[in-house]
Chain A
Amino acid sequence: MNEVNVSMKINGKTVTGSVESRVLLAHFIREQGGLTGTHVGCDSSSCGVCTVLLDGYTPVKSCTMYAVMADGHEITTVESLAVGGKLHPMQQAFWDQHGLQCGYCTPGMMLSSIALLKQNPNPTEHEIREGLSGNLCRCTGYNNIVKAVQQAAQVMNQPELAAAADD
């Protein structure tokens, strides 16, 4: 058995485990981290549902990375988005714009969208579609996902909008 000790911060919390070197990051997050919001879809690096953020805002497909490669790194998953029961502006936007139906692609879709807005805070519709082209959705037809990212971009650029919505 090629076991390795792996330790990483997932959503700010240290998760350690002795796992086989062939264990993929997605499975480490789900099984060692107990965080099942990171889904596994195509299992072949195509669909993007397993997307998580590495060391800040770098989106990576956690099914195409060995857990041991993330040793000593920081991972952000969908579970970290809502704080104290309050949805992240991206989650709120997906809710408001009906950016999901079955919801299976949604964690990866939202994390990719957050990474996209970090790189480009005011994307055009075309840039959103291009930026999310590594994430597949088989329900929505993408239009409402694009609208959700547009709403989130607006809110995240003007936090007072989010505050006003709470009143």
Chain B
Amino acid sequence: MFPASFEYVRAHSSDEAFAHLQQHGSDARVLAGGQSLIPAMRYRLARPAVLVDINPIKEFSYLREENGFLVIGATTRDAQLEFAPFIKDRYSLITAVSAVVADPIVRHMGTVVGSICHNDPAGDWTATALAMRAVMVVRGPNGTRQVPIDQFLVDSYTTAVNEGEMALEVRIPIPDAHTQGSYQKIERKVGDYATCAAAVQLAMNADGTIRQAGIAITASGPIAMRVAAAESMLVGQRPTLELLKAAAAEAPKIASPNADQRGSSEYKKDMTRVLVGRGLKQALERLGVTA
């Protein structure tokens, strides 16, 4: 189906994009990779009157480490993360997720920042950003501000980006040598929405206790959600199988998945437990720690 008619404006700089967004307010949407927005427009689920294309903004495409953060620009494609050698070497959660987002062709256009801003209930990058405790950088009328991911993700398809504003980048704390992650996803086929998925990242202390835990589930409620109870249960403890089991059992308590052709609500709830458990085990394996 064809999308509804819209006015197309092309931005060549951050200032230009921002001016267009300020001018058009709630009528406008940012067009980055378009891999969620264009299908939504084709189904007429989205009917923005104006699209502000930020793809021509060269300085928006970057992937670099600075001041302790991995910084991903607004038009950086999923595939750039998938194929960057330094990501493969040191970011096990990002490596895992970047190979299972949508499908390989979509990943050449789809962007990380765009996916987080889309805030789909089944988003992979939103769950990853929660587990890695990312911070979003948003440009507003009073300059840029940093928004922790937990505050950024407001509700389904809704973020802390207000009318006339735009997200510039996502900043992800660089995992140290004692940090590993895992992404666990069940999908009926490549490119389908996840039936259920879990993002996990664990950081260890030298004494064998868990320093930090990041656990998030997606396709399990209105947005990707942090399993805070599981995280606090793990921090400061030595990992044992009983502890991992107890932590994983916290996931279904906050899950509220809808029943659909991918499974019943009960099944999906239980899968949050299974996938968080698998993710914790794999992260520990990658750390060389036996639970």
Contact = CB atoms under 8 A, between A and B. Distances in A.
A and B: bona fide binding partners: yes
B34 interface: yes
A44 B42 contact: yes
B103 interface: yes
A17 interface: no
A133 B102 CA distance: 10
Interface stretch (B5-13, B14-22, B236-244, B267-275): B5-13
Interface in A43-71: 43-46, 48, 51, 54, 58-61, 64-66, 68-69
Contacts of A54: 108
A46 B8 contact: no
A121 interface: no
B250 interface: no
Contact of B105 (A43, A48, A69): A48
A150 B1 CA distance: 36
B106 A134 contact: yes
Contact of A22 (B2, B105, B106, B109): B2
A51 to B, nearest CB: 6
A107 B104 CA distance: 16
A16 interface: no
Contacts of B34: 64-66, 69
A122 B62 CA distance: 28
A48 B38 contact: no
Contacts of A69: 31, 34, 53, 55
B38 A45 contact: yes
A166 interface: no
B34 to A, nearest CB: 6
B8 A130 contact: no
B39 interface: yes
How would you classify the secondary structure of chain B's contact residues: helix, strand, loop or mixed? Answer: loop
A46 B188 CA distance: 13
B109 A65 contact: yes
A44 B31 CA distance: 18
Interface in A65-94: 65-66, 68-69
A24 to B, nearest CB: 8
Interface residues of A, number: 32
Question: How many B residues are at the interface, by size bracket?
Answer: 20 to 34
B114 to A, nearest CB: 13
B83 interface: yes
A22 B109 CA distance: 18
B105 A21 contact: no
A1 interface: yes
Contacts of B105: 48, 51, 59-61, 112, 134-135
Nearest to B55: A69
Contacts of A135: 105
Interface string B100-117: 001111101100000000
A131 interface: yes
Contacts of B8: 2, 4, 21, 66, 68
B173 interface: no
Most A CB within 10 A of own CB, among B31, B39, B55, B102: B39
A6 B55 CA distance: 16
B103 A133 contact: yes
12 contacts: A2-B6, A44-B39, A45-B38, A46-B191, A54-B108, A59-B105, A59-B108, A60-B108, A60-B109, A64-B34, A68-B8, A69-B34
Given A48-B105, A134-B102, 19 more contacts: A2-B7, A21-B51, A22-B2, A22-B41, A24-B2, A43-B42, A48-B103, A58-B108, A60-B105, A64-B38, A65-B109, A66-B34, A68-B53, A69-B31, A130-B99, A131-B104, A133-B191, A134-B103, A134-B104
Interface of A: 1-2, 4, 20-22, 24, 43-46, 48, 51, 54, 58-61, 64-66, 68-69, 112, 116, 119, 130-135
Closest CB pairs A-B (n = 5):
A134-B103, A21-B8, A134-B105, A133-B190, A22-B3
Interface of B: 1-8, 10, 31, 34-35, 38-39, 41-43, 51, 53, 55, 83, 99, 102-106, 108-109, 190-191
